[in-house]
Amino acid sequence: METTHYPVTEARNKLSSLINRAVKDGERIVLDLHGLPAVVLVPVGAEHVMMDAFLAQLDAAVATALQLEALPFDADGDVLT
């Protein structure tokens, strides 16, 4: 499986576009990691007022993921110290 890397700003824009599709167009969108569902975006109707809080949490999760991605791993997937 090929991994595509995006600059953080571009990745946020792409994710924002997916979220907007789920909210505005009613699409159910599944993002996967190694073939397993990692995130599911579903339309929530009027409850989307919580989107700002969700996006703040998402920003924190993306920052953590980027930090983890920068760590060196051995062949078994363990973090090298």
Residues in the chain, how many?
81
The pLDDT of residue 25 is 74
CB 35 within 8 A of CB 28: no
- Determine the structural domain holding residue 18 and report its residue range: 8-69
pLDDT of residue 46: 47
- 76 inside domain: no
Residue 3 located in a structural domain: no
For 10-69, how does the pLDDT look when each residue is reduced to its tens digit (9 = 90+)?
Answer: 888 888 888 888 777 777 777 777 777 777 777 765 455 566 667 777 788 888 877 777
Rounded to the nearest 10 degrees, how much is the dihedral formed by the CA atoms of 63, 65, 66, 71?
A: 130
Whether residue 49 lies inside any domain: the answer is: yes
Judged against a pLDDT cut of 80, whether residue 7 lies above it is answered with yes
How far apart are the C-alpha atoms of 44 and 22, rounded to whole Å? 8
More confident residue, 1 or 27: 27
Domain for residue 59, yes or no? yes
Please give the tally of structural domains in the chain: 1
Residue 72's contacts (CB-CB under 8 Å, 6 or more residues apart) are 79, 80
Q: What is the pTM of this model?
A: 0.41
